[in-house]
Copies of this chain bind each other. A is one copy, B any other.
Amino acid sequence: MLIHAAPAVGRAIDLPKPYLLFVGDARSAGFAKTAFGLKDWAAESCVGECASSPEAVSTGLPRMSPREAQARGAKSIVIGVAAVGGAIALGWLPVLIEALEAGLDIVSGMHSRLEDVPALEAAVERTGRQFFDVRRPPPDIPVASGRRRSGKRLLTVGTDCALGKKYTALSLSRAFAARRIDVQFRATGQTGIMIAGGGIPIDAVIGDFAAGAAEILSPDADDAHWDIIEGQGSLFHPAYAGVSLALLHGSQPDVIVLCHEPARTHVIGYPDYALPTVEAAIGLNLTLGARTNSAIRCAGVSVNTSGMAESEAAAVIGELERTLRLPVADPIRGGEPLQRLVDACLDRPASPSGREAR
């Protein structure tokens, strides 16, 4: 380890927008989740879609060739389709090469690397375009400095992986923006990075630099500006807690929102690891987060009630609110509970200690 903090020199990934969404030969939305996610959350950054097969599923955006998209302002084509094993399908190559020749860069979050496909690599060299791999961290990430930054920050944290931290951060960002608050969604995973048009895949960063990555992801900002940062993993996860702690320390959040799935009893994929209680998860995040921001507080809880009937979800939410005395909302259901959660995020701390949930 380096003992002295290096100056912050690195920068987050910055993708060329707007996008042309590539749905490949996907026969259903399930195989083109990324394209559908972008259409849902970043429609203003998408000029249209294109496919490698006329029978491919449609996101509902206008279908066009790469050249048409370029004429309408597109800067890159995003691979929004998944193939078996995370590989790049041969049938996609003609469209991808056509896109490079039309002047578009290629954005990918696939497991396979674009530069390992000789035909694509040759086309990139011929056209002078670029590949953007949202799985790969940017270079020159510094060691964290621990310095407090200006502006306000919210981090979504969780009792586990894969229960709605990205969705919650996006929903809160949209709700903040609807109130005309200066807000930016800060992405830490590949889908989020495509939606945001930038970010850092925090779990792919070398351990010594992970907190530093979180620092450069949400730089100094105006006092009234909010960064809403996509959380990753959980402090209770036997494999990923280190990433979650680095993200918590480097993000220096003023506010956390805990994400939870009431129906889940164990860490996903780890049957020997019971999920922590909501109270324990809030407490540990506040205890550890206070190391880099002593004013950290928990605004409330985002619950994932998918699969529950409306009445069951309402009962779960009501029960949690009574126990925790904090706002609880399912952002997918939205409505008044979500607005109360947003109110709590924006409230100044009620007491000088700044911790509502302790």
A 1-21 binary contact with B (CB < 8 Å = 1; else 0) = 101110000000000000000
Given the known interface contacts A203-B207, A205-B207, the answer about A238 and B161 at a Cβ–Cβ threshold of 8 Å is no
- Whether A221 sits at the interface, judged by CB under 8 Å, is no
Select the stretch in A90-98, A140-148, A297-305 that faces chain B. Answer: A140-148
- How long is the Cα–Cα vector from A152 to B112 in the complex, in angstroms? 40
- Total chain A interface residues with beta-carbon distance under 8 A: 48
Chain B residue numbers with a CB within 8 Å of A284 are 287
- Whether A226 sits at the interface, judged by CB under 8 Å, is no
Q: Establish whether residues B246 and A241, one from each chain, have CB atoms under 8 Å apart when the complex forms.
A: yes
For residues 242 through 277 of chain A, which have their beta carbon under 8 Å from a beta carbon of chain B? 242-247, 249, 267-270, 272-273
Chain B residue numbers with a CB within 8 Å of A208 are 203-204, 239-240, 243
Chain B residue numbers with a CB within 8 Å of A146 are 238-239, 267, 270, 272-273
Q: What are 26 inter-chain pairs, A to B, with CB distance below 8 A? A: A1-B161, A1-B189, A1-B232, A1-B240, A1-B243, A3-B161, A3-B162, A4-B269, A5-B239, A144-B238, A145-B270, A146-B273, A204-B207, A204-B208, A205-B207, A206-B206, A207-B210, A208-B243, A235-B288, A241-B246, A241-B249, A242-B242, A242-B244, A242-B245, A243-B246, A273-B291
A 174-210 binary contact with B (CB < 8 Å = 1; else 0) = 0000000000000001000000000000111111101
Q: Establish whether residues B242 and A238, one from each chain, have CB atoms under 8 Å apart when the complex forms.
A: no
